Amino acid sequence: MKHTSSNRNVVFLGTSLPRECGIATFTQDLLDQFEHIQGFNKPRIIAINNNETYNYQEQVMREIDQHKLSDYIATADYLNLSEVDLLVIQHEFGIYGGESGEYLIPFVERLSIPYIVIFHTVLTTPSAKQRYIMNRVAELSVKVVTMAQSTVKDLISIYGIDATKVAFIHHGVPYVKTESRSKLKEQYGFADRKILSTFGFLSPGKGIEYSIEAMRGVVKQHPEALYIIFGKTHPVVKQEAGEVYRQKLMGLVKEFDLNHNVLFVDKLLTQVEVIESLVMSDIYMTPYLGKDQAVSGTLAYGVGYGRVIISTPYRYAEEMLAKGRGLLANFRDSASLEARILQLLDNPAKVKEMEDRTLELGKTMLWKEIAKTYAALFQEKIKSSELANRSVI
At 185, which CATH number? 3.40.50.2000
C-alpha 158: how far from chain center:
22
**Which residue range(s) make up the domain with 345?**
181-365
Q: Are 40 and 46 in contact (CB under 8 A)?
A: no
Query: How far is it, in rounded angstroms, from Cα 329 to Cα 317?
Result: 11
Residue 73 domain-assigned? Answer: yes
Residue 2 domain-assigned? Answer: no
Identity of the amino acid at 227: Y
At residue 126, the pLDDT reads: 96
Residue 392 domain-assigned? Answer: no
Residue 70 to residues 16, 17, 48, 112, 194, Cα–Cα distance (Å): 20, 23, 13, 17, 54
Q: Which of 170, 137, 133, 136 is nearest to 151 (CA)?
A: 170
Q: Are 159 and 132 in contact (CB under 8 A)?
A: no
Query: How far is it, in rounded angstroms, from Cα 202 to Cα 236?
Result: 10
At residue 365, the pLDDT reads: 97
Q: Do 231 and 86 share a structural domain?
A: no
Q: Is the pLDDT of residue 391 over 90?
A: no
Q: Do 153 and 43 share a structural domain?
A: yes
At residue 294, the pLDDT reads: 86
Q: Do 377 and 311 share a structural domain?
A: no
Residue 391 domain-assigned? Answer: no
Q: Do 91 and 221 share a structural domain?
A: no
> In what side-by-side order are the strands of the sheet with 86-91?
60-65, 44-49, 10-14, 86-91, 115-119, 143-146, 166-168
157-213 pLDDT, tens digit per residue, is: 999 999 999 999 999 999 999 999 999 999 999 999 999 999 999 999 999 999 999
- pLDDT band at 5, cuts 50/70/90? low
Residue 219 domain-assigned? Answer: yes
Q: Is the pLDDT of residue 4 over 70?
A: no
At residue 388, the pLDDT reads: 83
Q: Give the number of domains in the chain.
A: 2
At residue 389, the pLDDT reads: 77
Which of 5-9, 32-36, 126-130, 310-314 shows the lowest mean pLDDT across its residues? 5-9
Over residues 291-319, the mean pLDDT reads: 94
Q: Do 377 and 305 share a structural domain?
A: no
264-280 pLDDT, tens digit per residue, is: 999 989 999 999 999 99
Q: Is the pLDDT of residue 359 over 80?
A: yes
This prediction has a pTM of 0.91
Residue 4 domain-assigned? Answer: no
Residue 154 domain-assigned? Answer: yes
Mean pLDDT of all residues belonging to the chain:
95
Q: Do 381 and 317 share a structural domain?
A: no
Q: Do 259 and 138 share a structural domain?
A: no
At residue 83, the pLDDT reads: 96
96-147 pLDDT, tens digit per residue, is: 999 999 999 999 999 999 999 999 999 999 999 999 999 999 999 999 999 9
305-315 pLDDT, tens digit per residue, is: 999 999 999 99
Q: Do 371 and 284 share a structural domain?
A: no
Q: Do 196 and 139 share a structural domain?
A: no
Q: Do 133 and 279 share a structural domain?
A: no
48-99 pLDDT, tens digit per residue, is: 999 889 999 999 999 999 999 999 999 999 999 999 999 999 999 999 999 9
Residue 210 domain-assigned? Answer: yes
Q: Do 228 and 90 share a structural domain?
A: no
At residue 6, the pLDDT reads: 85
Q: Do 91 and 223 share a structural domain?
A: no
At residue 390, the pLDDT reads: 65
- pLDDT band at 392, cuts 50/70/90? very low
